[in-house]
Amino acid sequence: MTTSPRASICDACGAEIVAGLLACPGCARLVHRVDLTGLAAAAAAAEKEGDITAALASWRRALELLPRKTDQYATIEKRMKELSAVIHGHGPIPEGVGVNQKGRVAGKAAAVGAVGLALVKSKALLTALLANGKLLILGLLKLPTLLSLLFYARWMSGSSVGFGLGLVASIYVHEVGHVAALRRYGIEASAPMFVPGLGAFVRMNQYPTDAHEEARIGLAGPLWGLVAAITAAIIGRFTGSVVTTSVASVGATVNLFNLIPFWVLDGARGLRALARGERFVLAAVATLSSLSFHQWTPGIIAMLIFVRAFGRDAHEKGDRRMLALFAALVIALTLVSTLPVTT
């Protein structure tokens, strides 16, 4: 019997297993059973220690080695949803998961951010940004990110070097917000990359488990972007720097634009977790923001949300925390975007 160069032979039935298959075509034996056993053990150990993020990371890697239409795949996917629910405050701690005091504190902080309460105090926002300073610095140590950032900053500095650097920094903080949320759910992702004319992006190597995860990952960018914009506004207010104030205004406008629920923008991801009634509420909030601050972007957000409230993609149960966060982001970003721009 001959086999292709990249094929292997099943130890159980002798069938040829072509490279890329996850199960033997002859006896359905799992190809990566040894790796799956190790990942399951690593996930169980992480759960026992209360490290839900590490557990999710192991379970995600296990899913990549399993055929979709198997009982094991469905079981792991169900477990991941239970663990994710703990992170975003939707469910009780599942059986077998230990209590990690540090993780619980982090979870409570994340819950506060999710309902938008942290948006009320600029001090809390600045503290949240500084607490994740390590992640911000680590991103800059990636050569592709650093080179693309410098190139983007040079491209943006046509009107003012300071303004260009400030706006690029604001966009970078926005993207790192996505990375932080992805890591919280154990999802592998690249460092931010800048593309002149298109902004920046983060490439996911894995995908969210459900709409709740996707909403939190999507809205994390505008939330961190709001932190950057408010910080710049405060600096501009106390130093009298018109450039810093302009960075705050334009940065807020860019983040507000990202909340438009269309295509791959963050607003589309955030909207997926909202039920029909919640979408109507959010559309009303965006409409009031548009009329109150005389800005057109929240008006576009309101119009598209209203249209999508009638769509079949409305979430069955909804997510009140994401509704609160989305609404708070629309209001706060619209307010900051009204600051004067002088470059």
Check whether residue 53 and residue 166 sit in a common domain: no
Phi, psi values for residue 284, rounded to 5°: -65, -40
The residues, any chain, with a CB within 8 Å of residue 183's CB and separated by 6 or more, are 53, 135, 189
Check whether residue 74 and residue 43 sit in a common domain: yes
pTM: 0.82
CA–centroid distance for 76 within its chain? 22
Check whether residue 118 and residue 65 sit in a common domain: no
- Picking from 47-51, 154-158, 296-300, 301-305, which range would have the lowest pLDDT averaged per residue? 154-158
Instruction: Provide the pairing of β-strand 16-17 with 8-9.
Output: antiparallel
Residue 15 belongs to domain with CATH number? 1.20.58
Check whether residue 15 and residue 134 sit in a common domain: no
Check whether residue 189 and residue 333 sit in a common domain: yes
Tens-place pLDDT, residues 12-70: 888 988 888 999 989 999 999 999 999 999 999 999 999 999 999 999 999 999 999 89
Check whether residue 220 and residue 307 sit in a common domain: yes
Check whether residue 144 and residue 238 sit in a common domain: yes
**Looking at the domain assignment, is residue 3 inside a domain?**
no
Query: What is the pLDDT, as a whole number, of residue 297?
Result: 97
Structure tokens at 140: 């800059």
Is residue 175 within 8 Å of 132, Cβ to Cβ? no
Structure tokens at 168: 């690029």
**Looking at the domain assignment, is residue 261 inside a domain?**
yes
Give the total number of structural domains in the chain.
Answer: 2
> Beta strands of the chain (E only): which ranges?
8-9, 16-17, 193-195, 199-201
Check whether residue 203 and residue 154 sit in a common domain: yes
Tokens 């990952």 identify what position?
217
Range of the domain at 148: 109-337
Is residue 203 within 8 Å of 262, Cβ to Cβ? no
Point out the domain boundary residue: 87, 117, 140.
87
**Looking at the domain assignment, is residue 138 inside a domain?**
yes
**Looking at the domain assignment, is residue 342 inside a domain?**
no
